[in-house]
Amino acid sequence: QDPTICCLQETHLSPKDKHRLRVKGWRTILQANNEQKKAGVAILISDKVDFKAKQIKKDKEGQYIMIKGTLHQEDITLINIYAPNTGAPKFVKQLLIELKEDINNNTIIVGDLNTPL
């Protein structure tokens, strides 16, 4: 496998622990963390691709991060979600409503939604 984007959930890192995610060839590391090392999401982007972040939205609980940018000169929005174990469907619905202005045909939503299919 040769991924260009890696999305992680349940990182359980504090904002000071970014160094723990460092991997050779993956210089771009964007994360949302909780001070108590609960939850946590991260998006790693390979150095092999031309990615430029333009806007980042995240919460202080480490439940989601949204990155708007360009990937090889194409607009892209990445949303990585870690929904709480209780009330996940309501959480996801509310988050998507809050982010609806940012969501379009070039949006990729991934994560641990803690919801049965």
Is 50 annotated as belonging to a binding site?
A: no
Q: Where are the beta strands (DSSP E) in 1-106?
A: 5-9, 28-32, 41-45, 51-58, 64-71, 74-82
| Whole-number Å distance between alpha carbons of 90 and 83 | 9
| Whole-number Å distance between alpha carbons of 64 and 19 | 20
Is 17 annotated as belonging to a binding site?
A: no
Q: What is the number of residues in the chain? A: 117
Is 114 annotated as belonging to a binding site?
A: yes
- Candidates 107, 26, 24; CA nearest to 64 is 107
Q: Which amino acid is at 19?
A: H
Q: Give the residue ranges of the annotated binding site for Mg(2+).
A: 10, 112, 114
Q: Which residues are annotated as a binding site?
A: 10, 112, 114
